[in-house]
Each structure stands twice: as structure tokens, then as C-alpha cells.
Amino acid sequence: MNPDNYLDSPENIHLVTRLLELGKSLCGLELGPYLTSLVSAVTELIVCEAASILEVDDDGDQLHFLAAPQIHWEVLKSVKVPVRASIVGWVFQNDQPAVIQNVKEDPRYFKGIDKAINFTTHSMSVVPIAFHGEKIGALAAVNKMGESQFTENDSVILETVASYAAISIMDSHLKTDAQESQTILSQLNRMKSDFIAITSHELRTPLGLILGHATFLRDIIPDNYRSQLDIIIRNAVRLKNIIDNITRMDNAQTGLTSLQIRQISMQTLIEGVMIPFHDEAQQKNISMHFDIGPGDFLVEGDESKISIAFSNLLRNAIKFTNPGGHVAIVLAQLPDYVTVSVIDDGIGIPSKDLPHVFERFYQVESHLTREHAGMGLGLSVAKVMIEMHGGRIWAESTEGKGSNFTFLLPLKSGQISSVNQPPSS
């Protein structure tokens, strides 16, 4: 074919059109039918008796057929061709084409295929199939028809078709790999959820007993032992919070969490959640203020989930504020939303960590040197709980000065929040 005027004859126009068609259908067909269409196109374009596509086995020693003429497919699909003792194997290994006009004179000729399908091979033109340097297999055209021999033009056509074959084989492998990874991922996810469900159940029962008995004992023992029981109770509650957060996070991820919507007063909710924190704040000499703006603060939502989000923010504010510090809770009403801010003048968060604090297991302090206990789950749980309501949560902070965590909730359930940016404060 003359590259300067390759559309100079009806044959060449047909050839180019056919190759373009094969290129176009590359993404449209499954691997098997597509490769079969390639070998029949090769037979037609090169005018030869047969063509086939072979791929190397995983162990690299043998090649197997991916496509061959329909009449031989049933037999050839299970025939193996040795890489080190065949012409296609040589082409594959050396990543070079080979044109053999008389195979009987070639010591690499492998008789096994002809025997299997009762066929006689005279001549072959074979090109490698490779993708970005990765050897995949070979494309072979067999027995040029009539008196003629395989030409250089035939090799060009074969190389073009081989590049289509390479792309479709790699594409199919990638799809299979992606599906397998997805299956493994789902299995691992299920195992993780089972593990979390079983462990948290097994931990919760003895923990409930410890808390129950410790609380009972605290009320009846002499005053001088009470502080020891307070330590037991405080740490048992801390363990319970960790277990609850892990379970909540997993339930939300696996879709097991649903909302029990009813109308709730945010003011009552906040006051209720604050009660158990008063003692802790007092012990650390931290003052807590609840600041309410004008509004009725009635929200359609799931009380327990909003309480969890708010209590996780409040727990952090007290935890990360030094003795003598202040924590303010501010409830405000916008036209369609309420906002709740938990503001402290504690240790603050470095600006490089701030964008990550809502990620699961993220902690600013290194787990080796940190002073504050925790799993890095409280904020991610709060985020999930608020976003389930169509709300938003965000943090502003200055290291050494303090933090402001705010969440915004729509007043009506099902109302999608159009507020993407934190309202300027």
C-alpha cells in the first residue's frame, strides 16, 4: 500500500473502512465476540485460510486460543501451544513479527495444532500482541490463498488488528480485576461489620454490669472511697462512648441507620444533653454557657442522632479546653435552618489538620505522645448524623486560641440544604 495515496483503489478504501469499523466496535462488544470478529476480518482482508489469536497462560510456558475460526473453535479452545517450541511462541517471546512461507522448513513449527483439527498449515504470518511493553500473546494468519505469498502489507494489517486485540484483552482483564477487587472489598467489609457487631455486643454486656454495680456501690460506700469509684465510672463511660461511636459509624456506613423523624425542640435537646457534662466541666473548672437567640427552634429530625452529634462536639470542647477555660453553646435560627455552635477557648487545631478532623480515625495529636484519649471517631459520627438530616457541619479554629464547631439543620425534614459554605460569622 502506498501511504501517499492509500485511498487510490476500491480495495484500499474497503480495507481502511473495515479497519475503522473494527476500531469503532472496540468498546461495544464482549471480548470473545470481538476477537472472533477480528480473526474473521483478518481472513477476509489478508485473503488467507484462517487466523487466530492466542494469549499466554499465567505461568508463561504455554499459549491458549482466545479466538479461531468457528469450525475449529470447540477443539482449539482447549489446545495449548508451547511458548519455547512454536512459531507463535517465538513471536510472543521475541516481540517480533515472523513471516514463514513454508512452515515445514522451519524448526519452530509446532505440529500439535494441525493434528488436533486435521488441518495442514503451509505458510504463516504472525505478529505479537503487546500493550505498553507488556507481552500478551500473538495474532497468526495461516495459508495465504492462491499462488501468492504473505506480504509486508499483510503484516501492517495484522499489526493494526493486533493493537485492537491488545486493547480489548487488557480492557477485559482490568474489568475482571475491578470486579474481583469489588467482591473482596465487600467480603472484607462484611467481615469488619460482623467483627464490630460481635465485639461491641460482647463488650457492652460486661461494661453495663460494671457501670451498674459501680454506680450502686458509689451510693452506699463511705465518702473516702467515692473518688475511686468515680474514676471507675468515668472510664467505663468513656469505653461505652468509644464502643457506641464505632457501632454508629459502621451502622451508618452499611446503611443500617435510619431516621426516626419527629418534631423536636432544639433548646430542650441541648439542655438535656448538657446535663451530664456539668460535673465534668466543673471538675476541670471550665465554665459552660448556653446562649439562645430569638426563635422557636422547632426542627423535624431524629432526636437521638442530633443529640449524639451535639454531645460529641460538647465532649471535645471540654476535653480540649484547659482548666479555667470557657465553652459556649450558641443556638440561632435562620429563615429555614437552625445553627448550633460549640465554641471553646481551648487548645485549637493547627490549620493543616483542620480540613481532616471530620475524617474517620483522624487525630491531631500523634497516638504515641497524645495527652487526650479518643479514637478519632466522634466528629465523623457527628458529620454522618447531621448530613443524614440534609444538614452541614464545619469547624473554624485557631491553634492556641480555640475552636468553633457549628452544625446547621433544616427546619423541615426532606428539605435539602442549599447552604454549602459556612455562613459568615
Which residues would be at the binding site for ligand ADP (CB under 6 A)?
312, 316-317, 320, 344, 346-349, 357, 362-365, 374-380, 403
Residue 47: CB partners within 8 Å, gap ≥ 6? 144, 145, 146
Taking CB atoms, the residue at the shortest distance from ligand ADP is 374
Q: Which is nearer to ligand ADP, 325 or 391 (CB)?
A: 325
Q: Which is nearer to ligand ADP, 42 or 377 (CB)?
A: 377
Q: Minimum CB separation from ligand ADP for residue 127, in Å?
A: 58
Q: Minimum CB separation from ligand ADP for residue 239, in Å?
A: 12
Q: Which is nearer to ligand ADP, 131 or 362 (CB)?
A: 362
β-bridge pairing 326-333 and 287-292 = parallel
Radius of gyration, CA atoms only, the chain: 36
Q: Minimum CB separation from ligand ADP for residue 374, in Å?
A: 2
Q: Minimum CB separation from ligand ADP for residue 379, in Å?
A: 3
E strands within 208-302?
262-265, 287-292, 298-301
Instruction: Indicate the angle between helix axes 31-46 and 10-24, nearest 10 degrees.
Output: 170
Q: Minimum CB separation from ligand ADP for residue 382, in Å?
A: 7
Q: 29: left (phi > 0), else alpha (psi -120 to 50), else beta?
A: beta
Q: Minimum CB separation from ligand ADP for residue 280, in Å?
A: 14
Q: Cβ distance 42 to 51 under 8 Å?
A: yes
Residue 411: CB partners within 8 Å, gap ≥ 6? 298, 299, 300, 336, 337, 338
Q: Which is nearer to ligand ADP, 244 or 365 (CB)?
A: 365
Q: Which is nearer to ligand ADP, 46 or 386 (CB)?
A: 386
Q: Which is nearer to ligand ADP, 100 or 393 (CB)?
A: 393
Q: Rounded CA gap, 108 and 110, in Å?
A: 6
Q: Minimum CB separation from ligand ADP for residue 329, in Å?
A: 12
Q: Which is nearer to ligand ADP, 118 or 369 (CB)?
A: 369
Q: Minimum CB separation from ligand ADP for residue 202, in Å?
A: 22
Q: Which is nearer to ligand ADP, 91 or 382 (CB)?
A: 382
Q: Which is nearer to ligand ADP, 206 or 400 (CB)?
A: 400
For the chain, give the number of residues. Answer: 425
Residue 251: C-alpha distances to residues 185, 195, 215, 239 (Å): 17, 12, 30, 18
Q: Which is nearer to ligand ADP, 51 or 349 (CB)?
A: 349
Q: Minimum CB separation from ligand ADP for residue 401, in Å?
A: 10
Quote the distance between the C-alpha of residue 69 and its chain's center: 41
Q: Minimum CB separation from ligand ADP for residue 378, in Å?
A: 3
Q: Minimum CB separation from ligand ADP for residue 244, in Å?
A: 11
Q: What is the four-CA torsion angle of 128, 132, 136, 141, rounded to 10 degrees? A: -30
Q: Which is nearer to ligand ADP, 86 or 312 (CB)?
A: 312
Long-range contacts of 347-353 (CB under 8 A, 24+ apart): 347/320, 347/321, 347/322, 347/399, 347/400, 348/397, 348/398, 348/399, 348/400, 348/401, 348/402, 348/403, 349/395, 349/397, 349/399, 349/403, 350/399, 351/397, 351/399
Q: Cβ distance 137 to 93 under 8 Å?
A: no
Residue 243: CB partners within 8 Å, gap ≥ 6? 200, 203, 204, 207
